[in-house]
């Protein structure tokens, strides 16, 4: 069963209390009016009985009983009396009129002559009309009081709902308490304090959650960095041994395959030798990447012209690009001084351009900037897979098909750039447009 709301219980209890108060007040008022009316009628009966007793003494002494009977009858007809009786002391009724009412008080006053009681006068007023009038007055009062009670009840309920329940409900309706504040300045101080407490509690909880999330993020990054470092250390430890073991056999395989390629007599043999040469070169590149990760050459930065270096690189890359049906374009100012290591810079550019060609780019554009010193490599390839962009420069992350890359090339490039005091970033990547930007210091002081 759904719990009742505070507004419901407020209506029930307040309505019940107000109805009880109204009934008790109405009953007390009716009892008071009824008692007062009975007292007034009794007093009026006594006064009339006393007056009749004074007036009837002489008639009783003179035995003028007929006049007494007439007077009594006339009084009952015209004065609103219900019953009058004049009786001698020996019990003989000298005159009476009307009929006695059981539930009305009968007032008796003695007839006294010369200090001796010679009879009595009994008077009873008819309280029916008086009580009926009292009922009418009570009904009007009850109706007025009921109307006032209804308006007072709804007014009080409206005030309590608007001042207490509505502010609390506005807090509850916010759901997650994004901003638990009250715009209503008329809300009670306790409700406003509750809102302030909820706001403070939410802020503390949010700060705690944020701190936990940040700590978890830092921890995950540290664990990932430690795992990467461990893998790189393992690669570095094995790289020297692998290089010594593989470099000579690979060089021999490549040399003999290149020697035999011109002597091949049929197309199948030529294709086999070309495959051997291609795979031997690829194996050599993998070995060189592993060696670079393990033992990068010392930085030998110097003053150089990026325009000249980029032009030389484009000339060297152009034949390779033409063999794959691509072109390499250069856009550079006349002068673009920088402070960098030429060999490291060429290695970075060669890696970026090779990746673009392997991805299927038709145009590679090398742009040189002077303020700040930078080189931008653009290509029109298919772009980089969005799932690997956030980890693109991490070790062993690659978007190339399985078996066609080690995932170390961009990691090496980023490290080489940072060791020169530069920064390599991916500015944009989408189908038909991928941009890498390499920023370099212009002077040694910027390093």
Condensed to tens digits (0 to 9), the pLDDT of residues 216-249 reads: 888 887 777 666 666 666 666 566 556 656 666 7
Asked whether the predicted pLDDT for residue 329 surpasses 90, the reply is: yes
Q: How much is the pLDDT for 378?
A: 94
Average pLDDT score, the chain: 76
Higher-scoring residue by pLDDT: 209, 105: 209
pLDDT value at position 229?
Answer: 61
pLDDT at 295 over 60: no
Compute the half-sphere exposure of residue 436: CA atoms within 13 Å on the CB side of its CA: 27
CA distances from 28 to 14, 35, 42, 138, 418 (A): 21, 11, 21, 11, 96
| CB burial string 337-353: b at 16+ within 10 A, e below | ebbbbbebbebbbbbbb
Specify the residue for token string 């109805």: 19
pLDDT of 179 strictly over 50: no
> Could you tell me which of 229, 225, 270 has the C-alpha nearest to residue 391?
225
403 has pLDDT over 50: no
CATH of the domain spanning 297-446, picked from 3.30.230.10, 3.30.565.10, 3.40.50.460, 3.90.550.10: 3.30.565.10
**Residues 350/352/358/360 CA torsion (nearest 10 deg):** -120
pLDDT of residue 104: 67
Residue 185: pLDDT above 60? no
What SS3 state is found at 236?
Answer: helix
**At the fourth CATH level, which superfamily is domain 6-147?**
PAS domain (3.30.450.20)
Cα Rg of the chain (Å, integer): 58
Buried b (16+ CB within 10 A) or exposed e, 297-317: eeeebeebbbbebbeebbeeb
Q: Tell me: the pLDDT tens digits for 334-381?
A: 888 999 988 888 889 988 998 899 888 999 999 999 888 999 999 999
Residue 332, Cβ density class (10 Å: 0-12 exposed, 13-18 middle, ≥19 buried): buried
Domain borders along the chain are 6-147, 297-446
Output the pLDDT for position 435. 94
- The pLDDT value given to residue 95: 77
- For residue range 300-310, list pLDDT tens digits in order: 889 999 999 99
What's the rounded mean pLDDT across residues 157-185? 59
């Amino acid at each position: 069963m759904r719990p009742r709301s505070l507004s419901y219980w407020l209506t029930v209890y307040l309505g019940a209390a107000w109805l009880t108060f109204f009934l008790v007040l109405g009953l007390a008022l009716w009892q008071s009016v009824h008692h007062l009316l009975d007292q007034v009628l009794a007093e009026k009966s006594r006064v009339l009985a006393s007056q009749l007793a004074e007036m009837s003494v002489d008639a009783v002494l003179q035995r003028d009983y007929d006049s007494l009977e007439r007077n009594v009858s006339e009084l009952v007809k015209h004065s609103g009396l219900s019953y009058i009786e004049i009786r001698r002391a020996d019990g003989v009724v000298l005159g009476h009129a009307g009929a006695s009412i059981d539930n009305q008080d009968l007032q008796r006053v003695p007839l006294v002559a010369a200090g001796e009681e010679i009879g009595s006068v009994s008077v009873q007023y008819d309280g029916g009309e008086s009580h009926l009038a009292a009922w009418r007055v009570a009904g009007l009062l009850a109706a007025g009081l009921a109307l006032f009670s209804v308006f007072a009840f709804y007014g009080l309920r409206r005030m309590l709902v608007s001042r207490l329940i509505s502010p609390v409900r506005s807090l509850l309706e916010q759901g997650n308490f994004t901003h638990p504040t009250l715009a209503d300045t008329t809300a009670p101080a306790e409700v406003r304090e509750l809102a302030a407490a909820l706001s403070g509690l939410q802020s503390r909880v949010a700060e705690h959650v944020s701190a936990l999330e940040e700590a978890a993020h830092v921890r995950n990054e540290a664990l990932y960095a430690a795992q990467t470092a461990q893998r790189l250390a393992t690669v570095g430890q094995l790289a020297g041994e692998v290089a010594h073991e593989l470099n000579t056999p690979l060089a021999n395989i490549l040399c003999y395959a290149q020697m035999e390629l011109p002597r091949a007599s049929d197309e199948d043999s030529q294709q086999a030798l070309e495959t051997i040469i291609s795979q031997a070169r690829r194996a050599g590149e993998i070995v060189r990447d592993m060696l670079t990760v393990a033992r990068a050459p010392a930085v030998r930065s110097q003053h150089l012209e990026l325009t000249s270096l980029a032009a030389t690189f484009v000339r060297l890359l152009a034949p390779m690009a033409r063999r794959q049906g691509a072109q390499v374009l250069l856009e550079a100012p006349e002068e673009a001084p920088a402070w960098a290591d030429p060999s490291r810079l060429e290695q970075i550019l060669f890696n970026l351009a090779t990746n673009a060609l392997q991805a299927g780019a038709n145009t590679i554009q090398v742009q040189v900037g002077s303020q700040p010193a930078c080189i931008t490599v653009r290509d029109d390839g298919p772009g980089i897979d969005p799932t690997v962009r956030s980890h693109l420069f991490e070790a062993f992350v690659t978007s190339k098909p399985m078996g066609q890359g080690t995932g170390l090339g961009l990691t090496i490039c980023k490290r080489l750039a940072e060791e020169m005091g530069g920064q390599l970033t991916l500015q944009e990547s989408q189908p038909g447009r991928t941009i890498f930007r390499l920023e370099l210091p212009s002077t040694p002081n910027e390093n």
